[in-house]
A and B are shown apart, each in its own frame.
Chain A
Amino acid sequence: MRSQRTSLIAIFVILIFLLGVALINSNSLGDFGITLLSGLFQGMLLFLVAAGMSIVFGLMDVLNMAQGSYFMVGAYVAFDVQHTGGLIDLTNIIPDPNFRFVVAVLAAVLVGAAFGYVLERFLLPSLYSRPIFQLVLTFGVSLVALELVKFIWTTTPYSWTELFGVRESFFELFGQRFSTYRLFVVGMGIALIVAIGLLLQRSRIGIIIRAGVEDREMVQALGIHVRSVFTLVFTLGCAIAAFGGAVAAPFLGASTTLGSGFLLQAIAVVVLGGMGSYAGTAVGSVLVGLAIAVAQDTAIGTSFAALPSITPMLLLVLVLLVRPSGLFGNSR
């Protein structure tokens, strides 16, 4: 009870601090709104990478260092499907770019899920009792994925050029123009937070996952085949990260640095929220996203260009000083 109160106070203090700095940096309410929206946008992208990582770690004790790769692969697959002249050119079959974007996201999710399924089913099983080997293996898989992406799509970064409805529209608030696409990603992220939350809280598979996070052995002793739950959760985690990459691609483009950049920040989110805690990951994503946006604003016109990239780690250190097990983590 006391530790919960400490966590809530810590979240409140961080939020007030971030919003305070954002207000000081802003010249107008419009600027403040842009910082907030940018923070939420980055927070949701981080959530999409970190959610699977957190659930997989909680249930399986596997820290998947390849999680960022699914994000990158998702971005490339979505880009490829959406644009003309790619590996899978659907422009003649599906001329409507809006509908093609939906197909592109679905294709990215399917590729991410297949990639995750293969890793969990065929490569990880013999390493479940050897955590260091898991780290080495998943890191190795991320390198293989990177080389594969370079081989298929070369090292040239792609900027999204194909127009479609929500990507090109803007709305106005406090006299400032906001990209509707950012709002769309924030909405998707929130919808996914709620959907995964409902899955964990209301469904039988969710109850099994929550129970497995506490005591895998006992779940098995109740007659539940934990291995198949592992496969399902791992596949789902990879599919969510690929989904994240796909919805981020129209804004961030597709590049080979996408995976590694998001991986480090996602690890910060997972540890800051409390290893294996879903609620912690959701809250951690928003806090880290906002902190990065505020740091980006603060760094403008100063010599602290590296501030946004070190901010997640600074925030992590601060939180761990107050709560060594993270905001919502237990001390096991």
Chain B
Amino acid sequence: MTPILEVRDIHTFIGQFHILEGVSATVHTGGITVLLGRNGAGKTTTLRSIMGLTPPTRGSILLDGTPIHGKQAHTIAQMGVGYVPEHRAIFRSLTVLENLRLAERKKGDFAHQADFIFELFPDLKRLIELPGGNLSGGQQQMLAVARALVPENRLLLIDEPSEGLAPVIIEQLIAAIQRLSGQVSVLLVEQNFRVASKLGQNYVIIDSGHSALDGRMADLVKDQALIQRYLGVA
């Protein structure tokens, strides 16, 4: 499989703090790669660096072989990268429909994708006129993922989709993200190892700002000592 995203030894600062001290990761076309690591390891900063929201000061990021480091977030998004941030970032005063329409990059994007989005998340159809702030946490998460599906994205960066959600909602999200696999490539940050292992084909472990390990998820699942060492779960 050819890589759609290659992150090579990036270093990122937030203010004076050196948060990423050499992170590398690869996402293969049509696959799901999961970024794993303890709290504060640098997973969210890695996604934000790729998206251009917290630009790296060193290293390179290639999207389909084209360098995107140093580009502004809106340009990276226009190149086909969708971002679903931690805590969803739904526009609370905008209706569900307005939240989705806002993500259009060309006229008709939403109309083109509406059937697929409502098939993945049927609840959104009946909530279409409600303000985003009135939705439950699970519904907001669905809307955040749906919003990233409105334009034709090649790559989705999804940050902690299961955070704070009820188990039944998490199952729905897992099913939805699994369906996306094959149509779009995904780089997922997930703290819940059960969810991560269900979704990811590949993984990258980030430890204290470095990418410590990477490989196939199927191999990691079998290595309890490694999981315990880096993720603190057994």
Interface residues, chain A, with chain B CB atoms under 8 Å away: 204, 207-208, 210-211, 214-215, 217-226
Contact = CB atoms under 8 A, between A and B. Distances in A.
Contact of B91 (A215, A221, A224, A225): A215
A214 B92 CA distance: 8
Given A210-B94, A211-B91, A211-B102, A218 B74 contact: no
Contacts of B98: 207, 210-211
A207 B89 contact: no
B7 to A, nearest CB: 17
Given A217-B53, A217-B73, A222 B103 contact: yes
B83 interface: yes
A222 B77 contact: yes
Interface string B80-104: 0001010001011110001001110
Contacts of A220: 53, 72-74, 77
Contacts of B73: 217, 220-221
A121 B149 CA distance: 33
A327 to B, nearest CB: 16
Chain A to chain B: the 10 pairs with minimum beta-carbon distance, closest first: A223-B77, A218-B89, A220-B73, A221-B83, A211-B91, A223-B78, A225-B74, A220-B74, A214-B91, A222-B103
A218 to B, nearest CB: 4
Contact of A222 (B72, B92, B93, B102): B102
B94 A223 contact: no
B216 interface: no
A215 B85 CA distance: 12
A221 B77 CA distance: 6
Interface in B89-121: 89, 91-94, 98, 101-103, 105
B37 interface: no
A218 B101 contact: no
B61 interface: no
Interface residues of B, number: 21
11 contacts: A207-B94, A207-B102, A210-B98, A211-B102, A214-B92, A217-B53, A220-B73, A220-B77, A221-B51, A222-B74, A223-B103
Nearest to B89: A218
Contacts of A219: 102
Nearest to A219: B102
A221 B103 CA distance: 9
A225 B51 CA distance: 14
A220 B78 CA distance: 10
B101 A223 contact: no
B147 interface: yes
A214 B53 CA distance: 17
A207 B91 CA distance: 10
Contacts of A225: 72, 74
B151 interface: yes
B85 A218 contact: yes
B102 A215 contact: no
Given A214-B92, A221-B51, A221-B85, A204 B77 contact: no
A218 B51 CA distance: 11
Nearest to B92: A214
A224 B94 contact: no
Given A204-B101, A210-B94, A224-B74, A215 B89 contact: yes
Contacts of A222: 74, 77, 83, 102-103, 147
Nearest to A277: B93
A292 to B, nearest CB: 31
Contacts of A215: 89, 91
Given A207-B94, A221-B53, A223-B105, 20 more contacts: A204-B101, A210-B91, A211-B98, A211-B102, A214-B91, A214-B93, A214-B94, A215-B91, A217-B53, A217-B73, A217-B89, A218-B89, A221-B73, A221-B74, A221-B83, A222-B74, A222-B102, A223-B77, A223-B103, A225-B74
A224 B73 CA distance: 9
Most buried by B among A219, A220, A225, A226: A220
Contacts of A217: 53, 73, 89
Contacts of A214: 91-94
B74 A208 contact: no
Most buried by B among A207, A211, A217, A221: A221
Contacts of A226: 74
B93 A210 contact: yes
Given A222-B147, A225-B74, A211 B103 contact: no
B132 to A, nearest CB: 9
Contacts of B72: 220, 225
A44 to B, nearest CB: 26
Nearest to A208: B102
A125 to B, nearest CB: 13
A140 B133 CA distance: 40
B193 to A, nearest CB: 27
A68 B131 CA distance: 35
A217 B51 CA distance: 11
B115 to A, nearest CB: 21
